[in-house]
Amino acid sequence: MHYMMIVLLEFYPSWLALPREERRKYAGGLQEIIDKYHPHVRVRFFDAEALPGKDYTDFAVCETDDMRKYHYMWEEIRDSAPYTKGYMKIIDVIMGLGNAFQSYESEVLKMDE
C-alpha cells in the first residue's frame, strides 16, 4: 500500500533566534537523515508560518510504501539536535492510504478491477 502523511510541525522562536548559518547547519543534518531513507520515503517541506495555519509553522509531505522506514526516519529526526534542543516539535500527523478501497475490493472482495 502507498501511504501519505502530512506532518504538521512547529518551529519555535528559539529556532528563529539562531543565526541563519547555524539554522542551515542543523537543516543540513536533517536533510542528511532524510536522504538516508530516500527513495523508500519521499519528503517535501513547506513553510506555512506566513499563511493561515492555526497551530503549525511548517509541514512535511511524506510518501512511502514502507512504514517501517518512515518510522525509522522520524525516530532519527526526533534524536537530532533541532528536536532534542527544543527548536521544533511534531504537532500532528494526517495520514492516508492511496486508493485503499481498490485494494480492499480486489484483495478481500475478490472483485475484478
Its pTM stands at 0.89
Alpha-carbon gap, residue 18 to 23, rounded angstroms: 6
CATH topology of domain 3-107: Alpha-Beta Plaits (3.30.70)
Query: What tens-digit pLDDT sequence spans the chain (113 residues)?
Result: 899 999 999 999 999 999 999 999 999 999 999 999 999 999 999 999 888 767 899 999 999 999 999 999 999 999 999 999 999 999 999 999 988 888 889 889 999 86
Could you list the beta-strand ranges (E) of the chain.
3-11, 41-47, 58-64, 88-97
